[in-house]
Every structure is written in C-alpha cells, then in structure tokens.
Structure 1
Amino acid sequence: MVMSIERPKLEGNIAVGEGRQIGFAEFGNPQGRAVFWLHGTPGARRQIPTEARTFAARKNIRLIGIDRPGIGSSTPHQYENVLGFTDDLRTIADILGINRFAVVGLSGGGPYTLATAAAMPDRVVMAAVLG
C-alpha cells in the first residue's frame, strides 16, 4: 500500500479570538487518535518529520501541526505567558471536535506542551517534549 505523506489531509486557519487566527495542518488518519504537534523555533505547522507522518498514517493517528502566533498563517499575538496559548489550543481542539488528545512539543514547542498538559489535565492523555 502506498501512502502519501507529502501534503496535509486538511489545512486551514481557525479563529481563536477577536481578529486572531491560528494555522493548522493535519496528517495521518482524520479519524485517528489526535496528537497535536507543536513546532520548534524556528518552525511551522508543516515541519513535522517524515518519520512522524509515516508513523501517524500507519498507526491510526490524527497528527495536527499548529502554527504559533506570528508564524505561518497565524496572526501575530503576544501571550502574557505560555499558559495563554492553552486557551487557543482548547478552542482549536473544540472546533476540530477533539475531546482528548496527546501533545508533543519539539524544542521551542516544549514549554507550550507542558503548559497545555498543566492547564488541561482532563483532556491531555499524554505529553512529550523532544529536543
């Protein structure tokens, strides 16, 4: 079976606040277990390693890359602290119909991953920081 991992299955922007939006790109199985991928610095929603995309496609995972504000197609915004990001991710998960999820942060995405796990213990089933 040949799997295409080059292009996202779904890609777009989600309104998260007054005049603000966050870009996202989905890979893997749209009906699979949800994993949010928080990119490093620099980075963007599509910069998910090929190995992770392949793994997602094979293991029933809905892998969702998220742009932080001011990166990719996201509008600029400065949070008071990294916990501010969690409100945006909660909104994104709600709009995408995701109740429980894992979150993985690469390098600069690590603090946002840890903040998400701390802010949403009822929704985050696993958190990992790489790099």
Structure 2
Amino acid sequence: MNNFVTPPERQTTMQLKDSRKLAWSEWGPVDGVPVLFCTGAGMSGWLGFGTSYLPELGLRLIAIDRPGLGLSTPHPKKTLSSWADDTQEFIQAHNLDNVLAVGFSQGAPFAFTLAGCGLVKAIAIVSGQDELFHPSLKPLLHPDVARMVTAIEQDAVEFERQFAQIATADGLWQLIINMSAECDGLRPTFGDRHLYQSDLFAPAYQQALKEGFAQGANGYTRDLVNALSPWPVKLEDINVPVNLWYGALDTSTVHSPDFGATLALRLPNVSHIVDPQQGGSILWTRARDILAKLKSYVSLT
C-alpha cells in the first residue's frame, strides 16, 4: 500500500502575470521529463500516483492546484481555456520541454485542453470523464448526471450558485465512496472501495479534498460546470498521442459511461485500454504501466 501514497516531495508557488498565485506539488527527479497531473474533482495536488516509479522512469510528476483549489488563487472567470493559459505560463516560466500530461476523472477535460492547445507531447486519460454533451453519450448517462448536464445547459450560473451552497469535501468523499465498487468480482478483497478506504489511502485522498475545499466550494463547482459544459477543444483535432485507460469494473457514474469507446472513435491518435480486472482506481493500481507508456512518446537526446 505504501506504493500508492507518498506525500509531496516538494511544494511550491509562483505568481502569475495577473498577480494570482499558482501552487503545485512535485515528486521525482527535478530534471525528469515533466508530467502534469490534472487531478480529480475537488482535489488539490497533494495526492500523486506512481511516485515510487518516477526515478527509474526519469519522470517528474507535477500536480498543479487548479485556480480556487488548494493554495492557488481563484480565477474570476475560470474556464478550460483559462486553465490552458495558466499552464502555458507555468511551462514557459520553468522552461519545460517534452511536457506530458495525465488527466484523472474530472481532470480529463483539463488534460484534453492542454493537448488541444499544443502544450503537451502526449496525454493519458485515466478513468476519465467524457464530453457528456456528445449525442452518443446522452442516452447512456445515469439519471443524476443527466439532470446535472441539463441544468447546466439551461442556467449554468444558477446551477453553480446553488451547488456551491451544498458541496463540501466530506460530501464529495462520501459520493466517491458510494460510487465505488466494493470489490472487482475477481479479487473481492481489492475493489476500488477497498483501496479508497484503506488505512493509508483514505487519509491521503481526504487530505487532497480538504485542501481542495480550503477556500470554499466555488473552485470545485466552477470546475464541475466547465467539465459538464461543451469543451472548447475539438477532440477530433487533437493529433498528439492519447492513451485512454479504463477499468471495466469501474462503477462511477461520472466517468465515461462507455469506458472511453466514444472517445476512442473521436481521437485521431489513440490507444484504448480497458482492463477487465481493474476499476476506477486503475490510476494507482497500474501506475507504472500508465507512466511508462506515456514516457515512450518522448525521445530523449
């Protein structure tokens, strides 16, 4: 279990050009190939993944607190596009080359936006949310998710205002647990819920959520609205390699409802892996495979 949870090795902030603060957590060698980790819903960058494999792979994992989460200053009009602008400034300020990215769960649209804006060489989408406005997906949505998508379509401002009044770190944690399978059917002692509620992992995940909500719920609810609205990047135009990783035993209703099948059809340069023995926690249980495959797209001189 120690392989799943390692506190950040470094935590840093920078001041953006508009005077906002951007914060992030890091693991791995400082001269490693940078991997930008787009975290899940409501999470700060405190909880990484695959950290024990970073030295051997020569990777530097960088988990940025999205604006309004963790220690990053809120953006008054945060969008997926403004996230790309902030990330571009971060990349340029640190002279990063051969940048890669991973998007987990709600982090998927943020990683896709980086790819669509030409800021990264390749991305991995792991247990990722899909663009739920796509006509092929609407019939597959859980009723609760469908209602949220419809409410945002009708009045995004009002949805965000109301949701911010009820969203909490503890509430999101309970939602994650309730949507997670108790077992995977093949290894009944190691389902998603078993991992998430384990003695080491649960406090780490909850710490990331606590930090994510430290400034209130507005950062999370703005991310939710942006993720459930039409995305600014056309997936069909993303030419960098995209690795889709899903576990067939994932029971989360907010991840891709067809385990990335529609995403794979829309992306020109895609690898689609659905592991029949994994669930939504595949980010941690197959971390080395995910990172090694992503690293393969970067040729070092």
Is the 8 Å Cα contact of residues 41 and 109 (structure 1) preserved in structure 2? yes
- Once the two structures are TM-superposed, the CA of residue 18 in structure 1 deviates from its matched residue by 1.7
CA distance in 2, matches of 1:69, 1:78: 9
CA distance in 1, matches of 2:78, 2:71: 21
Distance 1:69 1:80, change over 3 A: closer
CA distance in 2, matches of 1:58, 1:8: 18
Structural RMSD (CA): 1.7
Which of 99, 106, 122 is the equivalent residue of 2:104? 106
> For each residue in 1:62-109, what CA deviation from the matched residue of structure 2 results, as whole angstroms up to 9, or x when unmatched?
110111011111011144531221110011111222022001011111
CA distance in 2, matches of 1:29, 1:130: 23
Distance 1:125 1:19, change over 3 A: same
Match of 1:9 in 2: 9
CA distance in 2, matches of 1:80, 1:29: 31
One-letter code aligned to 2:41:
T
Q: Where does the alignment leave 5 or more consecutive residues of structure 1 unmatched?
A: none
More strand per residue: 1
User: Which ranges of 4 or more aligned residues in structure 1 deviate by more than 2 Å?
Assistant: 5-10, 78-81
Match of 1:124 in 2: 120
Pair member with larger Rg: 2
CA distance in 1, matches of 2:67, 2:78: 13
TM (normalized to structure 1)?
0.85
CA distance in 2, matches of 1:83, 1:37: 17
| Identical-pair percentage | 24
Match of 1:24 in 2: 24
More helix per residue: 2
Match of 1:41 in 2: 41
- Once the two structures are TM-superposed, the CA of residue 48 in structure 1 deviates from its matched residue by 1.1
Larger CA deviation: 103-112 vs 73-82? 73-82
